[in-house]
Every structure is written in C-alpha cells, then in structure tokens.
Structure 1
Amino acid sequence: MTAEEIQARVLHRDGLILVIDKPAGLAVHAGPSGAPNLEECFDDLRYGLPRPPSLAHRLDADTAGVLVLGRHPKALAKLGRLFSGRDTEKTYWAVVEGEPPADEGVFDMPLLKVNTRSGWSVKVSPDGQPSVTRYKVLGRAPGMTWLELNPETGRTHQIRVHCAAAGCPVIADRLYGRAEPNNQLHLQSHGIVLPLSKSKPSIVVTAPPPAHMLAALKACGFSPEPSPTP
C-alpha cells in the first residue's frame, strides 16, 4: 500500500497507539513466502516519531479489521500487559454458513494446534488449551447467519474453528469450511475496547465492514449508517 492508502486506514491515533483497519488477504508480518505484508507499510505511520510503530497483537492474513499498534516500547509494554491479562474487549463480526445452535451462547471447546507435513491447523481436542467464544445472532438470510463474537481467550484461529465445529463455518473459510473462488473470508475484527488509563475513559474503536462482506451483511439485515450531511 502507498503511504496515503495506509494512512487512510488509521482509525485512531494518540501518543501511545495507532489503531488501523487491516485489509483482508494481507499478512501482518513477513512470512517464508516473501509475500507483501502490513509491517512493510509501518514506516509511513511514524507521524514524526523516530521509529515506526509495532504490532501489539495479530490478526490472520484472511481477517480484516481493527488492529492495534504501539508507537514506542513503553506503549508496547503496556499493551502487552492489557492483552495478556484479557483486559481488552474484542468484538468480531462474521457471516457463517447455516446457523449456530441458539440465538446466543458460548462456544467452549479446547483447541489444539497440529503440525502436519503440509503445514499446520487447529482442531478441537480434549488435549488442547481452554478456548471460549461468546456469540450472538445479529441477523439471518437463507442459508447464512450474521454473528457478533467476543473471544474470551486468544487462541490461533479460535473463532474460525469454533464456528466450524458448531456446524456453521465462516463463509469462504478455505481451512475450516469451504473455499469459494473470488470470495474472501467473511470475518472481521469489528471493534476493540482498550482501558489504557485508570483516570480516562477506555478507548473504543470500531471499523466499517469490509467491502467483500457487505452483500452478505445486507442480506442478513445490516443497514449502513447514513453519512452525515454537511
């Protein structure tokens, strides 16, 4: 992305952090394939500071939405404590195939990361780590459901595996559901609440739904807020 494109994706900026709207299909950091990644753009997000910001957490390459960056080491240390202590509140939106077992509930299934010759994946297993995701149905359309999900733990691929194991895989999930040519994973990191200061209100940031999810969301009843009139 150009400097203008990545800067246009900044949702929040202060002296400690940046929150950006990550595009789907772009890895957050460099991998063995050498494909483009988000960290390559971070130098354009210094905004006068001597060093670029750094990732405070991760999102899957296929997942769009809210991503938090620390602007300097002190901020990163503070964010690390927040994320490790589960003091942040993360909200995801997903459009899934079929529907979950109830209008709202909890997916409480331990998850285990498994290495194979062809790579790695995550599965539900009694030998795995405790993994909990709260969910709520926000809307429905024939054959699909719009969910709001709040992960209480932060396991790799947690939401994707929990949804698939519950019989409602995320649309276009090539790993745990059905790959769909010319379609992207219908999962978005929609919002986050960050209690960065004891003396100030928490920072609350949400991202607009990504373009590739809009048709499915609208079919399920989502109505974009009208733009304010000048």
Structure 2
Amino acid sequence: MTLIPILYEDGEALVIDKPSGLPIDRPRRGGKSLDDHLDGLKLGFQRLPLPVHRLDTDTSGCLLLARNPKAHKRFARAFEDRLVGKRYLGVLAGIPNGEEGTIELSLSKISSAEKGWRMIAAKKGKPSVTHWRLLDTKDGRALIEFRPETGRTHQIRIHCEAGLGLPLLGDPVYGNGATKGAAPRTMLHAVGLTVTREGKTPIEAVAPLPPEFAALGFADTAA
C-alpha cells in the first residue's frame, strides 16, 4: 500500500501527487527516492510504473507514471511534441510588474566548483517559453500560475529569477537573501496535468495545494 496520493489511474497511466522532498532519482549520497514507492504503486500490475517526466526534488504535485513500455514511449513523445498541458503554482519573493505575460529565454547549463551546476539565461542555450499570470498577493508576495510550453531543467525557477526579476520563495539556488528562512522549500507546485491521447479520453489530474502554501496565506486555488 502506497502512502503517495493517486490523482488519476487507468490501464496505462498513473498520476501521483509527488510530495516535496522526494527525489525522482536515487541521490548519489544515498537516501529515499521515488524508487522506494514504485512497488507499492503497481496496484496489481506485474510491471513497475515508471516516471515519464521530471519534477525537482522540492517541487510537489502531478507526476505522470507509465504502466507499460509502449505507454511510456507514447507519453514521452507527447511531452517532446508539446502535447501535454502543464500548470504550476508558485510563490514569488515579491510582487511582479504587471498581471500576466510570457517569458522567452534560452537556457544553458553551467557548473563551478564553488556553486555546483545551475541554469542560466544564454543566447546560445535551448529556447524556453513560460506563460504566467498573477493570481493573488499576500504580505508582499505573489501567487503565480505558470504554464510552460517547454520543459527545460529548472525552467520556471530561472524564468522567475531572470525573467520576472524575482525568485521563487525558498529557492536555494536561484534565490537571494529575501528567500532565506521564508519558506521550508522552493515554493513550486505542479497543480495540473493534461495529456491528450488518440482514440482515448485525455489524462487529467489536479493536485491540491500543499499546506506550505496555506501557511503563507494562499487559499487552495488548484481547481
């Protein structure tokens, strides 16, 4: 029996509500990961379900798992072809200018001995696009809805910092002094996922806001 909430289930797919703090891959230093829960997510099937995409360790919410290799291949292609609707909610360490917009920045990976690896905005990087909309403000912070078209590593996090000029609250990599101690983790939640399928009903899932958002004064606007 798994303790991870299941948001959607059929013969070829599961969508789970991944908790914050649970990495997809086993950390190099050891420790728990999603692998420890896959057996409990078989739910009577012989094969282990496998994740189709990635969420950062801190990020909570909708994660699609495929229940057989053919489905995994089709779902992965749907992500590559941008046929998947993704919706995130995040809390900014400040209030942005304007109420909505689109961030288009090419992203590239850099690494240093002092800071490790991170993503930066770079003209020669891979194109990335995120649409955003202001939902609410509270105590000098903003609740933002993000709809990314692309799925680059750390895309929303770097788009906040470099595109909006405000990091996500609690982000240890792209944050600054304003985020330290302000939240228990990076305040980003994968609230909604939709995957269209030829000849089948679409996969649709919504993950309720975790308590860390309510603690900051933001009501559950996941639906």
* TM-score in same-fold range (> 0.5): yes
Does 2:56 align with 1:85?
A: no
Q: Which amino acid aligns with 1:214?
A: A
Structure 2 CA distance for aligned equivalents of residues 223 and 35 of structure 1:
31
Q: Which residue of 2 aligns with 1:228?
A: none
Q: CA–CA distance in 2 between the matches of 1:79 and 1:171? A: 31
Aligned to 1:60: 56
Equivalent residue runs for 1:125-140 within 5 Å: 125-140=122-137
Per-residue deviation, 1:127: 2.0
The answer on whether the counterparts of 2:2 and 2:37 sit within 8 Å (CA) in structure 1 is: no
Judge conservation of contact 1:174–1:180 (CA < 8 Å) in 2: no
Residues 15, 217 of structure 1: alpha-carbon distance in 2 compared, 3 angstrom cutoff: farther
In 1, are the aligned partners of 2:192 and 2:207 still within 8 Å (CA)?
yes
CA shift in 2, pair 1:144/1:158, >3 Å? same
Match of residue 188 from structure 1: 189
Question: Which letter maps to 1:201?
Answer: T
**Could you list the runs of 4 or more consecutive aligned residues of structure 1 that deviate by over 3 angstroms after TM superposition?**
none
Does the Cα contact within 8 Å between 2:92 and 2:143 map onto a contact in 1? yes
| C-alpha displacement of 1:217 | 4.6
The root-mean-square deviation of aligned C-alpha atoms, in Å, is 1.6
Distance, in Å, in 2 between the alignment partners of 1:152 and 1:87 is 9
Counterpart position of 2:200: 200
For 1:67-106, list aligned pairs within 5 A: 67-106=63-102
Distance 1:29 1:136, change over 3 A: same
Q: Which of these residues, 20, 44, 49, is aligned with residue 45 of structure 2?
A: 49
Q: Percent identity?
A: 37
> Does the CA contact (< 8 Å) of 1:92 and 1:150 recur in 2?
yes
8 A Cα contact 1:56 1:76, kept in partner: yes
Quick check: 1:99–1:167 contact (8 Å CA) kept in 2?
no
Unaligned runs of 5+ in 1: 226-230
- After superposition, residues 212-227 of structure 1 pair within 5 angstroms as 212-218=212-218, 222-223=219-220
Q: Secondary structure at the match of 2:200?
A: coil
Report the CA distance between 1:146 and its aligned residue. Answer: 0.6
Q: Check the 8 A contact 1:136/1:147 in 2, yes or no.
A: yes
Counterpart for residue 159 of structure 1: 156
Q: Distance in 2 between matches of 1:4 and 1:111?
A: 36
Give 1:179 deviation, angstroms: 3.3
| TM-score, with structure 1 as normaliser | 0.89
